[in-house]
Amino acid sequence: MMLMLHRCVRTLKFMLNWNNEPIIMPKSLYTSKTLRKLVLRGKILVDVPCGVYLPSLYQLNLSSVVYKDQDSHDRLLSSCPVLKDLYVCRADDVDDNVRQFTVKVPSLLSLVYLGTFFRKDDDGSLVIDTPDLTRLEIMDGFGHSLLY
């Protein structure tokens, strides 16, 4: 499957119902100057190269995606200087290759994080470093709030 990202695309929703190997998105996705909203859902391989920059992206939705590695996850979020709204759903049945899910986005105002409940025997963690955050929702895979 080949996906081309053309100029002036402002919103991209790519939702995949797929049980085989993850689909690789084109590298041009990570350098769009006009993309404002991005939704990736399903078994999509997030393989973010060095030198990426998404200067207009303010809304990002990542649901059940697979990251190539920890660095791809970190590079994606750090490439979005105006990101305001982040929604993350990590499915328990998908190994997304990230053990420490770090959200370090100075511009972020809203974070919704669902899924992967870290158990005592799990080495995973969620790290949030967002000084202007005004909305935070953290829920386990059953939709139960983990904030009291």
Confidence of residue 16 (pLDDT cuts 50, 70, 90): confident
- Measured over the CA atoms of residue 24, residue 76, residue 19 and residue 94, the dihedral's sign is positive
Could you give the percent of the chain with pLDDT greater than 70?
Answer: 84
Across 41-60, b (16+ Cβ under 10 Å) vs e yields bbbbbbbbeeebebebbbbb
Task: Answer whether residue 110 is part of any domain.
Answer: no
Task: Answer whether residue 104 is part of any domain.
Answer: no
| This prediction's pTM | 0.88
Q: Give the model confidence (pLDDT) of 63-94 as tens digits.
A: 999 999 999 999 999 999 999 999 999 887 77
Q: In the prediction, which pLDDT does 25 show?
A: 85
Number of domains in the chain: 1
Mean pLDDT of 44-68: 94
| Domain carrying residue 30 | 11-95+117-139
Q: In the prediction, which pLDDT does 1 show?
A: 46
